[in-house]
Amino acid sequence: MIQRAIQLYSARMDDECEVDVSADESGSSKTDKSIDEGHCNRESNSVAFHSPHIPFTTELRQRTLPRCIRIDGILKWTAKRFNVNFCHQSEIFLHFNPRFDEKRSVIVLNSTKCGKWQTEERHYEMPFKRAHYFSMHLILTMNAAVIFVDKKFVCSFKWRDSAELIDHLNIMGDVELNLVVPFTRFP
């Protein structure tokens, strides 16, 4: 399933999802237009979050898999680390944590069970750079999360619990977000 997600994502990169992120007069984000032909299709009742503040948390209403989450942002010049967490209640099913404050820059992946951290996985190929823009797509399949940054495969993380239980997304740390869009029905 991971290989299939990589193949489908790569084959559709030219059909980039189009998202209307214009804000209304009050400054709040509008729901973007339906996307039926991109590599990710939008949830009909979800919202594109334009320039959300950190820490950012949103409910993921539909739990169908596979699904895709798009996160666009820029790392702060002084960035030490940031994280993206997919959670169910107080449990973290995926902790995606790029770190710049260790001897060597690393992406740490982990999860919790009964509130305790499990065995972490480390990936030393760092696609993020301080003070640089990035576009990340996280494809959530039944078996694993498959992560792309700037249209390139970065890593995958095999679920340690049922991904269908994931009900919210949390992003925090040394990052400024431009856009967060919960998609579904990948591809």
Instruction: Give domain limits for the chain.
Output: 2-16+40-184
> pLDDT tens digit string along 57-91?
999 877 778 889 999 999 999 999 999 999 999 99
What is the architecture of the domain spanning 2-16+40-184? Sandwich (2.60)
CB 145 within 8 A of CB 68: no
What local confidence, expressed as pLDDT, does residue 64 receive?
79
pTM of the model: 0.79
Comparing 46 with 149, the larger pLDDT belongs to 149
CB 148 within 8 A of CB 134: no
Residue 132: what residue type? H
| Strand ranges in 76-167 using DSSP code E only, listed in sequence order | 82-88, 91-99, 106-110, 112-113, 116-117, 121-123, 133-140, 144-149, 152-158
Residue 184, phi then psi, degrees to nearest 5 = -145, 180
> pLDDT tens digit string along 6-24?
656 555 554 444 333 333 3
User: Is the pLDDT score of 180 beyond 90?
Assistant: yes
Count the helix, strand and coil residues of the chain and give each as a percent rounded to the nearest 5: 10, 45, 45
Tokens representing 80? 């030490």
